[in-house]
């Protein structure tokens, strides 16, 4: 009988810090097992959120990776408080225990043949793109990050990208430059400058559509991280299915198991 080698850790982590980063997002840092801290960009964890006062979240909450460091065992998440689960997460303090399962799913894949990629995201999707900055640099790939949000103070991951030497372009609703037409102009410029060997995206179906059009026009590959309500996180329950266009047919795929990162050509917004 072959020895069992877990690919996914089911173990409690310990909270290091859990601080607000702006009016909407909080940054949670925990220490977990070596296996958990080996998580790759685009992968996610299932968090058993503590119950906030007066509420009882039952299921775990999927949370995409914001950062992981195998050397320190640290794992970071960037989350917006929107429901019972994240309200519970917001109550965590240093030293608290947080049961987590992960890393889960297929993350972003980087092709060493690429010279320069473009990361395009919006809102909470920016957190998912964040760890790509470090991974791309380690692979010797340059990055332009196009980060979209409602207001400049809600842009996240920009410091992470800048720290890794990426070019950061922010577009916001309040500045009136976040519309798909403007983003398309930016992307066409990057393509013309040969700075777009691949698209990496998360968090906006409008921006995904723009990239799908350009991907077809210029034969540029791309990857999108998708979200869906989940229960198990391991491909067992089939609650997180979405429609995909695969080989000319619309099929259901499980976001947790077949994704959460998919080829942008098969994703349906």
Tell which one of 15, 90, 191, 234 touches other proteins (CB under 8 A).
234
Indicate whether 248 belongs to the interface with other proteins (CB under 8 A): no
Stretch that binds other proteins, among 56-64, 87-95, 125-133, 136-144 (CB under 8 A): 56-64
Stretch that binds other proteins, among 173-181, 189-197, 230-238, 259-267 (CB under 8 A): 230-238
Q: How many residues bind other proteins (CB under 8 A)?
A: 28
Residue 179 or 235 having the CB closest to other proteins: 235
Indicate whether 190 belongs to the interface with other proteins (CB under 8 A): no
Indicate whether 261 belongs to the interface with other proteins (CB under 8 A): no
Give the single-character DSSP code of 141.
-
Residue 163 or 268 having the CB closest to other proteins: 268
Report the b/e string of 240-260 with b at 16+ CB within 10 A. bbbebeeeeeeeebbbbbbbb
Report the b/e string of 130-169 with b at 16+ CB within 10 A. bbbbbbbbeeebbbbbbbbbeeeebbbbbebbeebebebb
Indicate whether 232 belongs to the interface with other proteins (CB under 8 A): yes
Beta carbons within 8 Å of 146's beta carbon, 6+ residues apart: 118, 119, 120, 121, 169, 171, 183, 186, 187
Site string for other proteins, 65-104 (x = CB under 8 A): ----------------------------------x-x---
CA–CA separation, 30 and 45 (whole Å): 12
Tell which one of 14, 34, 58, 72 touches other proteins (CB under 8 A).
58
CA distances from 74 to 44, 77, 125, 163, 189 (A): 14, 10, 21, 18, 38
Q: What Rg, from alpha-carbon coordinates, does the chain have?
A: 18
Residues within window 121-140 making contact with other proteins, judged by CB under 8 A: none
Stretch that binds other proteins, among 57-65, 117-125, 159-167, 202-210 (CB under 8 A): 57-65
Residue 103 or 222 having the CB closest to other proteins: 103
Joined tokens for residue 115: 């010279």
CA–CA separation, 269 and 259 (whole Å): 15
CB of residue 257 to other proteins, shortest distance in Å: 6
Indicate whether 57 belongs to the interface with other proteins (CB under 8 A): yes
Answer whether 21's CB lies under 8 Å from 79's CB.
no
Indicate whether 4 belongs to the interface with other proteins (CB under 8 A): yes
Helices (H), 68-131: 84-89, 125-129
Stretch that binds other proteins, among 62-70, 133-141, 142-150, 225-233 (CB under 8 A): 225-233
Query: Which residues would be at the binding site for other proteins (CB under 8 A)?
Result: 1, 4, 6-10, 48, 56-60, 99, 101, 229, 231-239, 241, 252, 257
């Amino acid at each position: 009988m072959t020895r069992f080698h877990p690919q996914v850790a089911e173990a409690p982590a310990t909270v290091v810090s859990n601080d607000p980063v702006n009016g909407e997002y909080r940054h949670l840092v925990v220490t977990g097992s070596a296996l958990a801290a080996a998580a790759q960009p685009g992968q996610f964890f299932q968090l058993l959120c503590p119950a906030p006062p007066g509420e009882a979240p039952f299921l775990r909450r999927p949370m995409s990776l914001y950062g992981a460091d195998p050397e320190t065992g640290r794992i970071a998440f960037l989350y917006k408080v929107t429901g019972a689960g994240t309200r519970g997460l917001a109550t965590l303090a240093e030293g608290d225990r947080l049961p987590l399962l992960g890393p889960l799913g297929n993350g972003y894949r980087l092709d060493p043949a690429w010279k320069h990629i473009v990361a395009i995201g919006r809102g909470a999707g920016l957190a998912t793109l964040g760890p790509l900055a470090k991974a791309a640099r380690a692979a010797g790939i340059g990055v332009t990050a196009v980060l979209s949000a409602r207001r400049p103070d809600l842009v996240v991951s920009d410091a992470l990208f800048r720290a890794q030497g990426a070019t950061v372009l922010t577009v916001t609703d309040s500045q009136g430059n976040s519309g798909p037409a403007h983003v398309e102009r930016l992307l066409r410029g990057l393509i013309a400058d040969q700075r777009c060997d691949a698209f990496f995206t998360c968090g906006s179906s409008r921006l995904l559509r723009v990239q799908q059009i350009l991907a077809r026009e210029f034969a540029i590959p791309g990857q999108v991280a998708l979200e869906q309500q989940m229960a198990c996180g391991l491909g067992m329950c089939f609650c997180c299915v979405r429609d995909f266009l695969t080989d000319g047919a619309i099929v259901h795929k499980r976001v947790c198991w077949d994704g959460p990162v998919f080829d942008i050509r098969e994703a349906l917004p």
